[in-house]
Amino acid sequence: MENAKITIIGTGSWGTALAMSFHNSGMNVTLWGRRPELVDELCTLRHSAYLPGTFIPQNLFITSDVNEIAASDIILWVAPVQQSLQLLELVKAYIPASAPIIICSKGLELNTQKPLSNLFKAALPNPVGVLSGPNFADEIANGLPAASTLAFENLELAKKLSIQLRHQAFRIYAHNDVVGVELAGALKNVVAIAAGIVMGKELGQNCLATLIARASAEISRLISALGGSKDTTQTLAGIGDLILTCSSAKSRNTSLGIALAKGQSLEDILGNRKNVTEGITTAKVAFELATHYKIHAPVISAVYDILYAEKSVDDVMRTLLSNQQEQELE
- Specify whether 274 is catalytic: no
What is the structure's pLDDT at 250?
93
DSSP helix, strand, coil percent of the chain (3-state; round to 5)? 55, 15, 35
Residues 161 and 218 in one domain: no
**Range of the structural domain that residue 157 is part of:** 5-176
pLDDT in tens, 168-215: 999 999 999 999 999 999 999 999 999 999 999 999 999 999 999 999
pLDDT in tens, 96-113: 999 999 999 999 999 999
Residues 130 and 145 in one domain: yes
Residues 153 and 230 in one domain: no
Cβ atoms of 86 and 110 within 8 Å: the answer is no
Q: Which residues of the chain have pLDDT under 50?
A: none
Residues 40 and 157 in one domain: yes
Question: Which residue, 176, 195, 214, sits at the end of a domain?
Answer: 176
Residue 330 maps to a domain:
no
Say which CATH number the domain at 288 has.
1.10.1040.10
Q: Which of the residues 188, 201, 262, 274 is marked catalytic?
A: 188
118-143: burial string, b at 16+ Cβ within 10 Å, e else = bbbbeeeebbbbbbbbbbbbbbbbbe
The number of folded domains in the chain is 2
What is the structure's pLDDT at 266?
92
Say which CATH number the domain at 29 has.
3.40.50.720
* C-alpha span between 204 and 322 (Å, rounded): 16
Residues 41 and 155 in one domain: yes
Residue 327 maps to a domain:
no
What is the structure's pLDDT at 272?
82
The pTM of the full predicted model, rounded to 2 decimals, is: 0.94
Residues 55 and 163 in one domain: yes
Residues 197 and 138 in one domain: no
Residues 130 and 199 in one domain: no
